[in-house]
Amino acid sequence: MKKVISKKNPIIPGMGVCDPHIHIFDGRMYLYASHDAVPDSHNFVMHDWQIWSSPDAVEWTLESTVRPEDFFMGPSCDCWAVDVAFRNGKYYYYFSDGSRRIGVAVSDNPGGPFKDALGKPLLDGTLTTTREYDPCVFEDDDGEFYLVFGAPSWCYGEGCGYFIARLNEDMISFAEKPKKIELDHCGDDKASLNKFGGNYYFSYGGFYAVSDCVYGPYRFLGHTASTIDHSSFCEWNGQIFQAITVKEQTEMYRSSGLCYVHIRDNGELVTDPLIVEYGVGQYDSEWNRIEAEWYMKGVNVTKTENKVLFGFCVSCRERAVLTYPKIRNLSDKTGFSLDYFCLGGKASVEVRTGSENGPLLGIINIDNPADTLEWYSRRNSFFRFEKLNCDSADLYLILKPESGAELMIDSFHFITEPAL
């Protein structure tokens, strides 16, 4: 199996791995993707699909290549977007036959192999007024699954749009007739559906809209400014990730990347330009600051909008742990600086390497809590440490607010100074 270690977005460069949908199965991140086959093509040439997985969103393994000749389609250069769902011990793989039809395959393993579940299309272009392709499957909080598909009217003409239908428990038939999604925006290519903070987020390309009902109507909110084309979202280890499309050589030869997503109080989705460029799980001690919300794993924490600093903080009211793996260029660093707010009581922050119980780099004791969240209530604390005998290390922040206190971490950075 082919392996790729990501150092920068795109996560799997130079292989045409595109149209990404991501899911978490068995503690791994799975990327279900289309595959642009011709680097200098000016048309979409897509002979198969690919499935990649990763334990950390950085090192990726090719699990399998899914071929249309194993399904009702037969050999094709129109292997368009896919998505996957898990139910009743089986994995269901929904795939596009170009812009015409949707099929479904099934497997016992998230990486395949997949077998055609029907031997014919699930959607053959006759059930609705839209082009029936580019599927997204969504599981709601009550365990019901929905299939979303279609295209905006500007793409294929009057009558087209995005449709949604609840699936039967067998996942290969519908429990209802597909309904057209009401959206106060023109749309933009493939759709995806997620639920964050009790709200349904209907996204298409980098655009997104929100509703309190899975069927809509959906109110347009904005663009994540992170992707040129198809994208999707997932939650993992207390973090929200967006899989994005990155253009490499032409608009018909694309790749996939990952970035973190944060949610403002008004529901807007925010990404960080630096992470869009470098990808997730990338940290360099030479950076002038590492934002706290860029963690790869957060336990007992909440990302909150920080209107004082026009960004985000990571907050907690009980013991919490933040993980930042493989921070680079540490060999000459001898100082650690933390920016934080603390309200209503005292707190401490342990900085450890290797694991949350690993060697202690230093402790910041916070005994000057603020009464209000204002710009002047932000604090900075610093400690020195002996040089590490390694160039990179996993960093763990152990946050310990006392009862009644709220601790908010804004950012941290490293300093090169002579050790004491």
* Mean pLDDT, residues 342-347 taken together: 93
Give 4's pLDDT tier (boundaries 50, 70, 90).
Answer: confident
* Mean pLDDT, residues 303-315 taken together: 92
CATH H-level superfamily of 283-415: Galactose-binding domain-like (2.60.120.260)
Q: Give residues with Cβ within 8 angstroms of 170, minimum separation 6.
A: none
Give 188's pLDDT tier (boundaries 50, 70, 90).
Answer: confident
Residue 5 has pLDDT above 80, yes or no: no
Beta bridge partners of 244: 257
Q: How many other CB atoms are found less than 10 A from the CB of residue 11?
A: 28
Tokens found for residue 7: 């150092």
In this prediction, residue 74 carries a pLDDT of: 96
Query: Rounded to 5 degrees, what are φ and ψ at 14?
Result: 70, 20
Token match 């129109």: residue?
78
In this prediction, residue 370 carries a pLDDT of: 81
Say how far apart CA 301 and CA 305 lie, in whole Å. 13
Q: What is the pTM of this model?
A: 0.95
In this prediction, residue 419 carries a pLDDT of: 46
Residue 113 has pLDDT above 50, yes or no: yes
Q: Give residues with Cβ within 8 angstroms of 186, minimum separation 6.
A: 152, 153, 154
Q: What is the pLDDT of residues 28-53, one digit of tens each?
A: 999 999 999 988 878 889 999 999 99
Tokens found for residue 56: 């950390």
Residue 246 has pLDDT above 70, yes or no: yes
Q: Is 226 helix (H, G, I), strand (E, B) or coil?
A: coil
Q: What is the pLDDT of residues 366-408, one digit of tens each?
A: 998 887 777 668 889 999 999 998 999 999 999 999 999 999 9
Residue 186: which of 228, 209, 154, 164 has the closest Cα?
A: 154
In this prediction, residue 350 carries a pLDDT of: 98
Say how far apart CA 8 and CA 280 lie, in whole Å. 8
Q: Where are the domains of the chain?
A: 3-278, 283-415
Do the beta carbons of residue 7 and residue 284 sit within 8 Å?
Answer: no
CA angle 61, 65, 70 (to 5 degrees): 155
In this prediction, residue 375 carries a pLDDT of: 65
CATH H-level superfamily of 3-278: Glycosyl hydrolase domain; family 43 (2.115.10.20)
Tokens found for residue 119: 């031997």
Q: What is the pLDDT of residues 270-301, one digit of tens each?
A: 999 999 999 999 999 999 999 999 999 999 99
Q: Is 278 helix (H, G, I), strand (E, B) or coil?
A: helix
In this prediction, residue 349 carries a pLDDT of: 98
